[in-house]
Structure 1
Amino acid sequence: MTRLTLTLLSSLGLGSLTLAAPFSPSAEGCTREALKAHTETLLSAQTSGNPAALIALQTADTTTPFIYTEDFKSKTLSSSILTTAQKIDHNRSLLDTTQCATYTEIISATDPNTPRVIGTQMRFDSTASKLLKIETLVTQPGDWLFNASATLRYARQEETIWVPIPESERDSRAVIQAAGDAYLDLFNNKSVVVPWGTPCQRLEGGAYTGRGLPTDSCNVGVPSGVPITNRRYVIDEVLGSVDAFVQFASVPDSHEFRVEKGKLRLVHTLTVMRK
């Protein structure tokens, strides 16, 4: 670590964290191993309340400066939710080697201070050696259908579903995204044909549509006339999943989908309602 980096971290009050060994770029470019290591750095930062290791990964390229947003508002890492230590009860990540991006769902239901459910997209350069952008949505009491305890309970029930899909059965990126887009398009166009799967469970805030039955459906109705725009995707073909950070009408939102054989299997949503 350079003297300049140490000085910067010290000035931010972040110098006490022992940083992980720097990731060495692979000749193969962006790999699942590299992205997984970065999600572990994110989780460590959130647990400790110290984003120093992420700050050290930031790009120094002035032509593409590092960007951090929280609930779609510009911030710095040193003033972010990552400076608040959070007990993590459950987490799961999507790894997108095509875009060199990740999405991580963090559930903190038993934190003694404030329960939160957090969704974070991270984007890197083509070798996964430089962090270009982080977008984070932080949901907590007051947000749409928020119930961290229920979210944790249902997420744990699904652990046997959010598993890698055998390579011969994986859908393409285009199929996975199209299934998610159809669901999102339905809010503003009731003629859209959505590839509903059965069973399908939807976890919306802390509300759950599934009852553990083979007939469980996610086709339980959505509002009308709601445009969902500005979609930013993270797609993981291994998990058959796509997460989209979107503008849900006027509010920040994340919709994550598990797709199997072109059909929707699971839906998770986060919607920030606080002003």
Structure 2
Amino acid sequence: MQGLLSLAALAALAASLFSASGAAQCARETLVAATNKLIAAQTAGTPDTMGALEGVAYLEQFKTADVTKGILKTPLTLDFNRSLHDTVQCTTYTEMVSAKGSHPYVIGTQMHFTPEGKLTNLSSLVTDQGDWLFNATGTLYWASREKWDVIPEDQRDSRATIQAAADAYADIFNDKSAKVPWGSPCARLEGGAYTGNGSANDRCDVGIPDGVALVNRRYVIDETIGAVDVFIDFATVPDSHEFRVEKGKIRYVHTITVMGG
């Protein structure tokens, strides 16, 4: 556990250094083009749509995998997708929902690039039946009703504020004294289960366990939509927590948790 905590600390330090400078390292257009290629590759089941993948670290469920045998080889009709583009860290996150096919999936993918736009790491969490609260139909229903639009530039939170909100949420699983900036309303989409009903009374601060360490945090922050995705070791299982933050408060949370290995 100590090793994992050290990795988390290093990740947080790196992210904080990026946040402090706030200087773009990558062109947003380059990152948008990359997530468009990812969506096209997943739709067609053709990994080479991403370009040459030799030398690219490819992971599924946080384990090294063979891209020629992975989820990208499976053509999927995507009923919903949304991407975050982090121009400071040269990273992206894409949430993809395939709910209406014969084999439903919910997938979360982080990609890492050099400042020149070369893909170096593609890591996906692939969930289906048997994973935590999996229900792709429920995920599609609620995700498609939420508002994650672009925030006017003069109203955006800083990268540090957005990350701090995510960290406070992750901290409270193991430290009930953590001060989480809960929004009102706030709704959590956990697998296909929703903590709200789309009303002004929706809450996220329900059903949170205790004594669970969320460590080895890897962030993708997109301040244009007030969002951050965090790949996390949720105790012993691979997990993604994605947040929408508005005026420093958590508005939405999406979780993807792999239980099936």
Which structure has the bigger radius of gyration?
1
Same fold (TM over 0.5): yes
Report the Cα distance in structure 2 between the residues aligned to 1:78 and 1:131, rounded to whole angstroms: 17
Do 1:251 and 1:271's aligned partners in 2 also have CA atoms closer than 8 Å?
Answer: yes
Report the Cα distance in structure 2 between the residues aligned to 1:163 and 1:263, rounded to whole angstroms: 16
Q: How does 1:143-182 map to 2 (within 5 A)?
A: 143-158=131-146, 161-182=147-168
| Residue matched to 1:31 | 27
Do 1:185 and 1:192's aligned partners in 2 also have CA atoms closer than 8 Å?
Answer: yes
Do 2:25 and 2:88's aligned partners in 1 also have CA atoms closer than 8 Å?
Answer: no
| Residue matched to 2:64 | 74
Q: Per-residue deviation at 1:216?
A: 1.2
* Match 2:109 to one of 113, 120, 124: 120
Structure possessing the higher relative contact order (Cα contacts under 8 Å, 6 or more residues apart): 2
Give 1:168's aligned amino acid: D
Give 1:184's aligned amino acid: A
Do 1:55 and 1:77's aligned partners in 2 also have CA atoms closer than 8 Å?
Answer: no
Report the Cα distance in structure 2 between the residues aligned to 1:250 and 1:213, rounded to whole angstroms: 34
| Residue matched to 1:8 | none
Give 1:269's aligned amino acid: T
User: Identity over aligned residues, as a percent?
Assistant: 58
After superposition, the C-alpha distances for 1:193-215 in whole angstroms (9 at most, x for unaligned) are: 10000011100001001122212
Structure 2 gap ranges (5+): 1-23
Report the Cα distance in structure 2 between the residues aligned to 1:107 and 1:142, rounded to whole angstroms: 16
Is the alpha carbon distance of 1:176 and 1:50 closer, same or farther for their aligned partners in structure 2, counting shifts above 3 Å?
Answer: same
| Residue matched to 2:11 | none
| Residue matched to 1:49 | 45
Q: How does 1:164-243 map to 2 (within 5 A)?
A: 164-243=150-229
Report the Cα distance in structure 2 between the residues aligned to 1:192 and 1:212, rounded to whole angstroms: 26
Report the Cα distance in structure 1 between the residues aligned to 2:220 and 2:66, rounded to whole angstroms: 22
Report the Cα distance in structure 1 between the residues aligned to 2:97 and 2:205, rounded to whole angstroms: 25
Report the Cα distance in structure 2 between the residues aligned to 1:177 and 1:191, rounded to whole angstroms: 18
Give 2:133's aligned amino acid: L
Report the Cα distance in structure 2 between the residues aligned to 1:267 and 1:240, rounded to whole angstroms: 12
| Residue matched to 1:142 | 130
| Residue matched to 2:4 | none
Report the Cα distance in structure 2 between the residues aligned to 1:29 and 1:209, rounded to whole angstroms: 37
SS in 1 for 2:242: strand
Q: Per-residue deviation at 1:36?
A: 0.8
| Residue matched to 2:77 | 87
Q: Per-residue deviation at 1:55?
A: 4.2
| Residue matched to 2:100 | 110
Do 2:25 and 2:89's aligned partners in 1 also have CA atoms closer than 8 Å?
Answer: no
Q: How does 1:255-266 map to 2 (within 5 A)?
A: 255-266=241-252
Do 1:195 and 1:263's aligned partners in 2 also have CA atoms closer than 8 Å?
Answer: yes
SS in 1 for 2:178: coil
Q: Per-residue deviation at 1:153?
A: 0.4
Report the Cα distance in structure 1 between the residues aligned to 2:67 and 2:221, rounded to whole angstroms: 25
Q: Per-residue deviation at 1:169?
A: 0.5
Give 1:32's aligned amino acid: R
| Residue matched to 1:269 | 255
* 1:132 has 2:120 as partner: yes
Count of equivalent residues: 238
CA-based RMSD = 1.2
SS in 2 for 1:157: coil
Structure 1 runs, 4 residues or longer, greater than 2 Å off? none
